Structure 1
Amino acid sequence: MFKLFDFSLKISGFPIDEARLEFDNILEIPEASYESYILGKRKQIVDFHLKNNPFYSQLASGKTSDQWDALPVLTKKELQQPLDLRLSQGFTAKNVFVNKTSGSSGDPFIFAKDNYSHAMTWASNMYRFGWYGIDFNSSYQARFYGIPLDFIGNKKERLKDFLSHRFRFPIFDLSDPILEKFLGHFKRKKFDYINGYTSSIVLFAKYLERKNIILKDICPTLKVCIVTSEMLFEKDKALMEKQFGVPIVNEYGASELDLIAFENQKGEWQVNAETLFIEILDDAGQPVPHGTQGRVVITSLYNKAHPFIRYDIGDVGILDPKSTFKKPILKQLTGRTNDVAVLPSGKKSPGLTFYYVTKSIIEDDGNVKEFIIRQTKIDSFEIEYVSDVELTLEQIAKIEDAISLYLEPNLKFTFIRKTSLARTNRGKLKQFQSLIKS
């Protein structure tokens, strides 16, 4: 069979065959030797950038690869300068893969990967999706993502969809008539898997629940649903499993890096330890013990074009105590460092705590389709929601009581009913947002 996806990577300059061979060799490294592999690759990539990347060499300020804990922790703000100032010698914007982060962290920037590093990213993706019988060359994807609305950007994305064997469901309008059209495609097309933003796929599952439809009954080829980019709550996961009739897999990644963690068949969030090295650090930049919450800091072991060494991705997480060098397990991802609510008492709480407490009440009767929470002042919040009918005073009081109990009393809430919620230009729904300057 002609492998169109592999061919599209090769003609774009990404040596997927070589990368897949190296990736397979990494998988064969035994547990006992894996720490040596990681430490060796870590040293190699730091030494390369100290020698060939003036931007990183200046940041390192005389530190060497043997002083790992003293190396600087890179932030997104430090990377918000012209790309050509950050590229290693021998690399230009014309001979690397260039892209832009989504900006969901509030700090978007342009980044680069050398072609071999980008091929390793695809080898990593292929391996993990393969756990669930998905082959990018032959499996047909139902893609729940945004899409550029300008003519050229739209056509480019459609071409990529064709080469990647996927059909895109644009997610800027998720009203019932549009979801009915989505359902029609599942009746006609032999999709192997669903992939896309969590909130949009949850909305589709809720629509199927109202219609009393199990998706696999009308699309028997469907094998798995893989959600990404937004928090997946257990209640939503259970709903999707029921309405889709297939396993729901949670993916955690970053466009500038790779897949960071991918749910394995045991339900563990297995960290990518083949192309990345992941640390959990405290606010002072020191490693914390497994089982302790801290900042997620990642080193890309193969990217020579651009340094992502001890790169603070902006997330807060916990590694499972049973993690090893070969098989780290992400026990919990608790949110983004910039999605923290600072309350009048001085208490700091992850914004998703508000979202989770509210969610446990607001969606009980199926009236509310989706909602977002926005902190406007230190004691004031707006909750925008989409629903069939307006929330009652009794429901609002119940939400306020729950937040008083779980967080603190005397907070003020404004409830705003909308016909749809604003998403980013890529289609993400930012579930909690603080407008308070830290």
Structure 2
Amino acid sequence: MSDLYTRFVSGVLFPLQEKLKHHDTVRVRRDMEDRQWWPQARILDVQLERLKNLLSQAGRKVPYYRELFASLSFDPAQVQSLADLQQLPFLTKAVIRANSDALRAEDASGLARFNTGGSSGEPLIFYIGTERVTHDVAAKWRATRWWNVDIGDPEIVVWGSPIELGAQDRVRLFRDKLMRTELLPAFEMSDARVDQFLARIRAVRPRMLFGYPSAISHIALHAEKRGVRLDDLGVRVVFVTSERLYDHQRAVLERVFGCPVANGYGGRDAGFIAHQCPSGSMHITAEDIVVEIIDDDGKVLPPGQAGEIVVTHLATRDYPFIRYRTGDIGVLGTESCACGRGLPVLKEIQGRSTDFVIAADGTVLHGLSLVYIVRDLTGVQSFKVIQESLELTRVQLVTDASFNPDDVRKIIEGFQRRLGDTVKVEVERVSAIAAEKSGKFRYIVSHVRNAAQGQG
């Protein structure tokens, strides 16, 4: 059970903050908590009604969509099913960059400017309105409560986004202290800095952690190396998001913190798409999010087949995200979850398209096929694989004294078995591997896939 202060924060303090921000978060979350138990057909009826409202609003108030609908003779009033979305083209990063102002609703006010990290080159700049923020916060809040924790429970956040870190002024720090949440910046992960993180975690005794799986698992492994226990603090759950969660990371976190790991999938651009429940399913926030899975030709695939995840966010009337290509690869589930929630399931999230590599003969391989070669070698502390071209792949390694230099040959031969005998594999031993500008860490970066798909 939550303690008295947690109940005060979640029931009084946080709702007051949201009301002062003109966010209807409490009502939205309560509606979501009610609807999650509805039969899936009833949830999808709500989804369709909200889709009609979004399309109608976009056709009337958003210059880009008003012109697009006219050119296609598309009438939102004639929409009868989610399949009617397929009459519309995809929204891509390139389209957003070219139509930044025209995507803004003419009656929009109070829009906040956001951007993605731009790890593959050029950042994406877009805008988010109050409705979108409200619904995203409510969706995350609902998922938090699935795990017997709530806003106001002591929390450690391991994050690296410049937006969050740049906002650490006195007001933000005071608010975080009231909410009992503390930020540990994920940019610098030196041994000395991680020692400080461990001291703070033990002092705070958080009920939950939230952040990048790569960063929190790094802290966990460092704790094991130092002989520092973290499984005696009463941590109930580790929430991870914003990167692919690998099985070995989940195992490390569960072992070191002595609690379950809850995966979350989404992005600053696409919103909170899916959250893991205690029964293990990734439930789509279907009240707000329509998910389509498409093949390389843009054809919508049925549940059970892997393809690119395309998202329509239904709470984006001020700056619509309609059929937005995320660049991520996933699979929709075909079965309901044992937890009893009617929310549809995202069965697999295979990672970004840039988490895949291309062999010399054109075969698409998941980056895990290379990750496993490096990860299991003795003495490898961290690594990064960069596929520069079909002809060249580079590997950065951070190693300790137990690393056998002869294993460099194992890496080269293993990579060539998968990518092709003619591929040049350069292995470089480095003292540290920098995170992306956002603070995230990526094991696999394929510039070949980027170029092929034109993703920024």
- C-alpha distance in 1 between matches for 2:279 and 2:301: 26
Say whether the 8 Å CA contact 1:97–1:114 is kept in structure 2: yes
Give the counterpart of 1:118 among 124, 133, 136.
133
Counterpart of 1:400 in structure 2 is 412
Which residue does the alignment assign to 1:223?
Answer: 236
1:262-310: CA deviations, max 9, x gaps?
1111112222212111111122222112111111001111221011111
Query: Match for 2:297: what amino acid?
Result: A
Question: Aligned pair in 2 of structure 1 residues 295, 323: CA closer, same or farther (>3 Å)?
Answer: farther
User: Partners in 1 of 2:432 and 2:405 — Cα distance?
Assistant: 22
Q: What does residue range 33-52 of structure 1 map to in structure 2 within 5 Å?
A: 33-52=42-61
Other-structure match for 2:370:
354
Residues 327 and 5 from structure 1, CA distance in 2 versus in 1: closer, same or farther, beyond 3 angstroms?
A: same
What is aligned with 2:447? Answer: 435
3-state secondary structure, aligned to 1:38 = helix
> CA–CA distance in 1 between the matches of 2:33 and 2:389?
52
1:311 aligned partner: 324
Deviation at 1:83, TM superposition (A): 4.0
Q: Secondary structure at the match of 1:274?
A: coil
In 1, Cα distance between equivalents of 2:137 and 2:313: 14
Does the Cα contact within 8 Å between 2:304 and 2:334 map onto a contact in 1? yes
Give yes or no for the alignment of 1:175 onto 2:190: yes
For structure 1, which runs of at least 5 residues remain unmatched after alignment?
none
Distance 1:326 1:87 in 2: 33
The equivalent of 2:68 in structure 1 is: 59
Q: Residues of 2 paired with 1:251 and 1:356: CA distance?
A: 23
Aligned residue pairs total 429
Cα distance, 1:19 vs. partner?
2.3
**Cα 1:150–1:36 shift into 2, 3 Å:** closer
Q: What amino acid is aligned across from residue 384 of structure 1 in structure 2? A: Q
Q: 1:294 to 1:176 in 2, by over 3 A?
A: same
**3-state SS of paired residue (2:438):** coil
- 2:87 pairs with 1:78: no
SS of the aligned residue for 1:124 comes to helix
Q: Which of 32, 40, 59 does residue 31 from structure 1 map onto?
A: 40
Report the Cα distance in structure 1 between the residues aligned to 2:37 and 2:333, rounded to whole angstroms.
23
| Counterpart residue identity of residue 326, structure 2 | I
1:235, 1:274 → 2: CA distance? 32
Q: Deviations over 1:81-107 (max 9, x none)?
A: 464332112014xx2343222324545
TM-score (norm 1): 0.89
Classify 1:353/1:158 alpha carbon distance in 2 versus 1 (closer, same or farther; 3 Å): farther
* CA RMSD across the alignment: 2.6
Provide closer, same or farther for how the CA distance between residues 278 and 164 of structure 1 changes in structure 2, counting only shifts above 3 A: farther
The 3-state SS of whatever aligns with 1:112 is strand
Q: TM-score, normalised by structure 2?
A: 0.86
Distance 1:275 1:294, change over 3 A: same
Q: Look up the SS of the partner of 1:316 in the other structure.
A: strand
Among candidates 309, 318, 323, match of residue 296 of structure 1: 309
| Aligned residue type for 1:374 | I
Q: Which residue of 2 aligns with 1:96?
A: 111
Runs (5+) with no aligned partner, structure 2: 1-7
In structure 2, the residue matched to 1:414 is: 426
Partners in 1 of 2:262 and 2:303 — Cα distance?
24
For residues 326 and 133 of structure 1, the distance between their equivalents in structure 2, rounded to whole angstroms, comes to: 20
Structure 1 window deviating more from structure 2 (241-250 vs 35-44): it is: 35-44
User: Is the contact between residue 281 and residue 294 of structure 1 (CA under 8 Å) also seen in structure 2?
Assistant: yes
Matched residues, percent identical? Answer: 26
Within 5 Å, give how 1:108-187 maps onto structure 2: 108-136=123-151, 138-146=152-160, 148=162, 153-155=167-169, 158=173, 161-162=176-177, 164-187=179-202
Cα displacement (A) at 1:418: 2.1
Q: Which whole-Å deviations, capped at 9, do the CAs of 1:9-46 have from their partners, x for residues lacking one?
A: 22222222332344345335433423322222222211
